[in-house]
Amino acid sequence: MKVRIEMTYKTPKGTEAYFKSEDIRAGEAVLLAEDFERTGRIKNVVFLDKYDTTWTLKDLNEYIKGIETEPHDITVYFDGGYDLKTRESGLGCAIYYTQNGKSLRLRKNALVEQLGSNNEAEYAALLLALQELEDLGVHHLPVRIVGDSQVVINQLNGEWPCLEEELSNWADRVETKLDQLGIEPEYKVVSRKKNREADRLATQALEGTEITSTSETKHEG
């Protein structure tokens, strides 16, 4: 969850000024607010989330402690590939998240039939990732969703119209799953090079190599 800090600063001579931060992650906001409080010169510190709900420092600390044992700070990479000759699709996803103070990575791929295009494979790969999030117990959290498919991401974020019936149906399935899980998606389009892990997983699925793994890792984002 991201919040913004709002507070009043008071100088030793009594001059006051109101400050508001940009949106930052809740954990970082708490660290900053606690550092400010140690100066003894701020008052009326509050935090506001994207819904303009007001949080106190105590409330935000309790929220952070509450999610520590659950998957959070989640980034999903997805990719799909379609083989015209075999009419098979390879789906791949890599999910980075934090749980119990550890940085973890889940890798998953799948080989599927009965899809008709690369764009359908991309949507199916994202749906595969959302199913993995559901299995992890992720709910009511912001999730960064990263892919190299401009079609899928721009259709889901509303920037491009979804005119093809098949893709519209896939978009509906993705949005229904997001709603069921209470996930707030933050979409980002990247180059294939920056999405190479998910791309490789999709390729391995087409090659017949099935992968399902979770490991501790360091991730630069």
Task: Show the tokens assigned to 148.
Answer: 């190299």
- Going by C-alpha positions, the residue among 110, 99, 102, 106 that lies closest to residue 76 is 106
Q: Name the average pLDDT for the chain.
A: 93
62 and 77 in one domain? Answer: no
76 and 63 in one domain? Answer: no
171 and 76 in one domain? Answer: yes
161 and 85 in one domain? Answer: yes
pLDDT tens string 167-179 = 999 999 999 999 9
Report yes or no: 147 and 122 within 8 Å, Cβ to Cβ. yes
d(CA 9, CA 45): 9
56 and 89 in one domain? Answer: no
CATH code of the domain covering residue 145: 3.30.420.10
Top mean-pLDDT range of 8-12, 83-87, 195-199: 195-199
Does some domain include residue 221?
A: no
Q: Count of alpha carbons within 13 Å of 185, Cβ hemisphere only?
A: 26
Domain of residue 164, residue span: 72-216
Confidence of residue 17 (pLDDT cuts 50, 70, 90): very high
As a 3-state breakdown, the chain gives helix, strand, coil percent values, each rounded to 5, of 35, 35, 30
pLDDT at 43: 87
Pairing label, strands 142-147, 184-189: parallel
Task: Show the tokens assigned to 221.
Answer: 């984002």
Does some domain include residue 51?
A: yes
The values of phi and psi at residue 187, to 5°, are: -85, 145
Whether residue 219 is predicted with pLDDT greater than 60 in this model: the reply is: no
pLDDT at 146: 98
pLDDT tens string 84-124 = 999 999 999 999 999 988 999 999 999 999 899 999 999 99
Does some domain include residue 49?
A: yes
17 and 125 in one domain? Answer: no
**Domains of the chain: total:** 2
d(CA 165, CA 123): 13
Whether residue 63 is predicted with pLDDT greater than 90 in this model: the reply is: no
80 and 59 in one domain? Answer: no
